[in-house]
Structure 1
Amino acid sequence: MATRNPENIRTVALVGHGGSGKTALAEAIAFNTGLTTRMGKVEDGNTVSDFGNEEQKRQISINSSLISIDHAGRNIYVIDCPGYADFIGELRSSMRVVDSALVVISGVHGVEVQTEKAWEFGEDMHIPMAFYISKMERENADFERTLREIQDYLSDKAVPLFLPVGKEAAFKGVVDVLRQKAYMYKGDGSKEFTETDVPSDLADYVTSSREALVERIVEADDELMMRYLEGEQLSIEELVPALRKSVLSRSLFPVLPGASTSNVGVCQLLDAIAEVLPSPLEMPPRKALKGDSEVMVEPDPAGKFSALCFKIMVDPYVGKLSFIRVFSGSASSENPLYNLSRGEDERVSAFKLMRGKESVDTKDVVVGDIVAIPKLHSTVMGDTLGVKGMDSIHPEIQFAKPVFSVAVRPRSRADEDKLANAPNKMPAEGRTLHFEKNPGANARAPSGRGAL
């Protein structure tokens, strides 16, 4: 596969409360970008991102899942993050490496506990964020109520970029507030939509919403602000770059409605990700450590290669997969990498662009890429990969401490062997899970963030 241009890369984490619709959205994104030919369902256990046996059994996301897609000339890395507090380590490690986050909020249930936790992580990491109000086709879904909750509980800088057309079962389209165009769907899950004028009953609402949006956008550009205050009409070509600037500076958080399972509004969401969210080259430098000193790693395509391993997955067929985010420079699979955290060479057989459990090999990686590397010998989660001669490493990922413990006793010799191997595998995949052995009780005590 051809090397990607960092200017065209977008990295986004889907975050939010458990059951808010993140995996359904990831599935709709995969379908609309041609990654799949039909949309799977969480209830049927056939989605791209929830491919683990326990995930399919419980119908929840347990592990973060990476989906690499292309849309509108952009290479987009989407990480579908678990929403339950038990798996908060997966959420935090994923948000550490992306350039933006899309907070998925159910239009039925509104802002929930883990919604606020994901928002707090985004605040701590100072990354651009947007909101997707999901399940708009469901009974009791309410866009305006959910928008007020976002503005009251999370940020008053949240402003609609799109508005819904219709409510609950009658939700069949969205309106682009900036361009004042409506996009109508059949609601049968197909990709097709029709561009039309704004429905007459929404005209006043769209006009007032556009005024509020433009007022927030021009705050990022003094010249546009002066021209706007003088009554001049600003063009889309002028407003979109200012919108991007506002999102990057976190002075504006776009809000978009949609219905993922019926595939309404997802194409417009993809367009917004491509058009509005930042590329890795627009992001500020990342902090790194050089001895006891703090240094900055610039997102420079010509700089020295620097990447952080943020996830380990043990695949029953491929073996160990180390997921990395490239923050500087480029690398080829023909050359070895160097684990700066452990002082060891690592041989690279291939870089894999992940699509759930499937993958496509690529020879080279550049700034912004999020890929998996099979069978690295010494690398664990939190390690910095680079080249020999470098002396700066990325700070380790900070994980929450375990708060829940149980005692596990084997029933047979076979169970004892399985239990003995579990500690060697689990901490590599999840750093919030700890194992302790209690010889007196003939038991092992796994500790984590919850019963799941």
Structure 2
Amino acid sequence: MKEYKSKNIRNITLIGHGGSGKTSITESILFTSGEITRLGKVEDGNTTSDFRPDEVERQISISAAMMHCDWQNTKINIIDTPGYADFIGEVKCGLSVADTAVLVLKAVEGIEVGSEIVWKFANDESIPKCCIINKCDNERANFSEVFNQIKNDLTHDAVAVQIPVNQGINFNSVIDLLKMKMLVYERNGNGKYKLEDIPSDQKAEADNLRNELVEKVAETNEDLMNKYFENGSLTDEEIKQGIQKGILNGNLVPVVPIGATANVNLAGFMDFAVEYLPSPAERNVIKALKNGSELDLPINEEKEPAMFVFKTLSESAIGELSFFKVYSGTIQHGLDLSNPNTNKFERTSQIYILNGKHRKEVPHLFAGDLGAVVRLKDTHTNNTLVSKSLGIKFKEIAFPNPIIQFAVKPRAQGDEDKIANGFHTLHEEDPTFKMHFDPELSQTIISGQGELHLNLAAKKLKDKFGVEVDLIEPKIPYRETIKGKCSDSEYKHKKQSGGRGQYGHVHLKLEPRKRGEGFEFEDAIVGGVVPGRFIPAVEKGLNDILEKGVLAGYKVVDVKVTLFDGTYHTVDSDEISFKIAAAQAFKKGFLDAKPCLLEPIEEVKITIPEEYMGDVMGDISSRRGKILGMDTGGKYQIIRALVPLGELFKYSTQLRSMTQGRGLYEMSLSHYEEVPKEIEAKIIAAAEKEKEEA
């Protein structure tokens, strides 16, 4: 087997809006490099990276897929990530191990919402970047316009290193501004090109763009700038080193034209990747934690072994397949490694390199490389495996918080354990998918990044675990309270049916408390009219009814109850009698003290382009929302508002619809406030109906 040290590896993660052509680019790279012998197509459902049934059916990428090829004795690892917002966690996984993030844009539409989101992710992680303008073989392709969008809207550091000659349906030629040659591709789709001189009618433009490129390279380094001013130019070697360092340091973003479906300029891109994009060795170090302090770990195959699991897949035949990046040493079969996340040890089994679903076993992988390992017992996504002597842990991927949730309703009784186990497995594969049981609402709640995300989780549950569920709107955790007082609520529990009876008699006073102060109980009995041994039973009865509610079955909050009088029977009184008496007295008093329902109010932060402000603010008002304020964040407007939780079900879907997918939001509980009476009546009626049907 061919071995690759760190300097001969390129780890590239393709990111971009859905439909930009990332999967087609991956397929053409594999074909051009000879890794596959047949060029698949997304529409035919036969690409290497989109192999799962849901991906084939929907013709979109759903999960990050890992591929590799050899080009000029260099191993290029490619991670093809989904472009749809529902699967943004997969992008985070792919970027966590990238040495270059390659943003794919369409030569017609240019920058789209997905482009902006994933570009920000790459910026946040300080990953070297490159841009591909794909679909230059489209009849409406406009490379120059999209290139200007990149410079104006994404980064002023963008620089064209290659340009299309005949973009459009006949696209097959590219001018390489570094070689100052024209690459003419064969029209049979084999991806091969021959070098020709630049045509005379293209020479002036190529010279101008070459000068712009050299000037941009000079701006990245003070020494180069001085040489440029002194000599009016830079040598080829100075340009090469300047580009390499500029990309590595984030001062240069090269832009390349491609026509993936026609297989034009994938070879030119790979040539550039091998010569100019950073290897793991050039990125040099990775941040790690040791004893709570951050340190720089050298990426070195001679050191102790250390790897990071960035993704997990559940395979029915072999169990979990863990995708990893080697950060130090050599990973091979039979290593005993420590997992500092779980404080357990793992022994590595077979090591694989992947092309989609196709696995190839290898004896070992060196630092900087990507691979997969099977049958790790206690290691999942975001876990570190490391030689115990190193004692380090790698920084975990920061996954986005859920933006939508559903309640789960089993279609068959007795499936609860299967559902819980199945969803737990799905969470281990995809940490952006979450599940918990809400004891207050008696519902299993799943949450994630969008409706499609959760609908696919339910489908996976059926396909993998044979369990069917319906996804329904979650109940809202309303609260009950009072606005008035009840000075005396009396209840006498008396039961006599032969032998010892039951007797408990109490007088309660109910008063409202300030919002958030909770429940308070005061024992104001004088003279032992209710003996002290029964006081805890009174309080227990009150606590029970507080949990069950009076109006609609929701928890009661912010009430003070005073026990000030009562009677007892020396023989018949017991704890259960006073529990019942206290609960019933509370119910009576509660209904006489101006009861009301409270609803959770969420503080919502919505980030949108300015042109959607009117629609979004109008929509907030229609949801009984209150605008708190507005801020500017770069090209975006940020709206802060208070909105009832009951009005936010499926809001992520509606916001995407209103803003053509360009709106983002996050929310957190702010406080509880009174429900309007007309809505309260509907909530109470629904609760009564549910109780009758139970």
TM-score when scaled to structure 2?
Answer: 0.63
Select the structure with the greater relative contact order (CA < 8 A; seq sep ≥ 6). Answer: 1
Bigger Cα Rg: 2
Give the letter aligned to residue 211 of structure 1: N
Residue 381 of structure 1: aligned partner: 381
Q: SS where residue 408 of structure 2 aligns? A: coil
Question: For 1:297-308, what aligned pairs fall within 5 Å after superposition?
Answer: 297-308=297-308
Residue 72 of structure 1: aligned partner: 72
Aligned partners of 1:95 and 1:101 also within 8 Å: yes
Q: How far apart, in 2, do the equivalents of 1:441 and 1:249 lie?
A: 51
Aligned partners of 2:136 and 2:171 also within 8 Å: yes
Q: How far apart, in 1, do the equivalents of 2:280 and 2:195 lie?
A: 32
Q: SS where residue 294 of structure 1 aligns? A: strand
Q: SS where residue 372 of structure 1 aligns? A: strand
Give the letter aligned to residue 395 of structure 1: K
Give the letter aligned to residue 282 of structure 1: E
Residue 48 of structure 1: aligned partner: 48
Residue 250 of structure 2: aligned partner: 250
Aligned partners of 1:67 and 1:77 also within 8 Å: yes
Q: How far apart, in 1, do the equivalents of 2:52 and 2:282 lie?
A: 35
Shift of 1:72: 0.9
Residue 124 of structure 1: aligned partner: 124
Question: For 1:11-410, what aligned pairs fall within 5 Å after superposition?
Answer: 11-231=11-231, 234-410=234-410
Shift of 1:231: 3.4
Aligned partners of 2:32 and 2:192 also within 8 Å: no
String of CA shifts for 1:169-198, please: whole Å, max 9, x gaps. 132211101211111124432222221111
Query: Aligned-residue CA RMSD in angstroms?
Result: 1.9
Aligned partners of 1:340 and 1:390 also within 8 Å: no
Aligned partners of 1:184 and 1:193 also within 8 Å: yes
Q: How far apart, in 1, do the equivalents of 2:299 and 2:391 lie?
A: 17
Q: How far apart, in 1, do the equivalents of 2:310 and 2:385 lie?
A: 11
Give aligned-pair identity as a percent: 36
Bigger drift between 295-304 and 117-126 goes to: 295-304
String of CA shifts for 1:131-159, please: whole Å, max 9, x gaps. 00001111322101101110111001100
Residue 690 of structure 2: aligned partner: none
Aligned partners of 1:410 and 1:443 also within 8 Å: no
Shift of 1:105: 0.5
Give the letter aligned to residue 293 of structure 2: S
Give the letter aligned to residue 324 of structure 2: I
Are 2:400 and 1:422 equivalent residues in the alignment? no
Q: SS where residue 301 of structure 1 aligns? A: coil
Q: Which sections of structure 2, spanning at least 5 residues, go unmatched?
A: 453-694
Give the letter aligned to residue 109 of structure 1: E
Shift of 1:220: 3.9
Bigger drift between 155-164 and 284-293 goes to: 284-293
Give the letter aligned to residue 108 of structure 1: V
Aligned partners of 1:295 and 1:392 also within 8 Å: no
Shift of 1:335: 2.4
String of CA shifts for 1:234-259, please: whole Å, max 9, x gaps. 44334212211111111110000010
Q: SS where residue 109 of structure 2 aligns? A: coil
Q: SS where residue 169 of structure 1 aligns? A: coil
Q: Which sections of structure 1, spanning at least 5 residues, go unmatched?
A: none
Aligned partners of 1:322 and 1:376 also within 8 Å: yes
Q: How far apart, in 1, do the equivalents of 2:135 and 2:415 lie?
A: 43
Are 2:432 and 1:435 equivalent residues in the alignment? no
Q: How far apart, in 1, do the equivalents of 2:46 and 2:157 lie?
A: 37
Aligned partners of 2:108 and 2:142 also within 8 Å: yes
Give the letter aligned to residue 24 of structure 1: S
Q: SS where residue 405 of structure 1 aligns? A: strand
String of CA shifts for 1:260-316, please: whole Å, max 9, x gaps. 010011100011111111111111422222222222212122222221111001122
How many pairs does the alignment contain?
A: 452
Q: How far apart, in 2, do the equivalents of 1:395 and 1:228 lie?
A: 40
Q: How far apart, in 2, do the equivalents of 1:443 and 1:221 lie?
A: 59
The 1:53/1:416 distance shift into structure 2, 3 A limit, reads farther
Q: How far apart, in 2, do the equivalents of 1:414 and 1:196 lie?
A: 71
Q: SS where residue 168 of structure 1 aligns? A: coil
Q: SS where residue 365 of structure 1 aligns? A: strand
Bigger drift between 266-275 and 241-250 goes to: 241-250
Aligned partners of 1:179 and 1:236 also within 8 Å: no
Shift of 1:95: 0.5
Q: How far apart, in 2, do the equivalents of 1:399 and 1:27 lie?
A: 28
Shift of 1:434: 0.8
String of CA shifts for 1:365-412, please: whole Å, max 9, x gaps. 211011101010000111111112332211221110111112332323
Give the letter aligned to residue 80 of structure 1: D
Q: How far apart, in 1, do the equivalents of 2:73 and 2:228 lie?
A: 31
String of CA shifts for 1:333-368, please: whole Å, max 9, x gaps. 132222122222211111111111111111122110
More strand by share: 2
Residue 451 of structure 2: aligned partner: 451
Aligned partners of 2:137 and 2:170 also within 8 Å: yes
Aligned partners of 1:100 and 1:277 also within 8 Å: yes
Q: How far apart, in 2, do the equivalents of 1:287 and 1:299 lie?
A: 10
Aligned partners of 1:308 and 1:383 also within 8 Å: yes
Q: How far apart, in 2, do the equivalents of 1:325 and 1:431 lie?
A: 18
Q: How far apart, in 2, do the equivalents of 1:418 and 1:169 lie?
A: 53
Aligned partners of 1:326 and 1:367 also within 8 Å: yes
Shift of 1:109: 0.9
Q: How far apart, in 1, do the equivalents of 2:288 and 2:31 lie?
A: 38
Give the letter aligned to residue 72 of structure 2: A
Q: How far apart, in 2, do the equivalents of 1:140 and 1:422 lie?
A: 47
Give the letter aligned to residue 144 of structure 2: E
Aligned partners of 2:325 and 2:371 also within 8 Å: yes
Give the letter aligned to residue 110 of structure 1: G
Give the letter aligned to residue 263 of structure 1: N
Q: SS where residue 289 of structure 1 aligns? A: strand
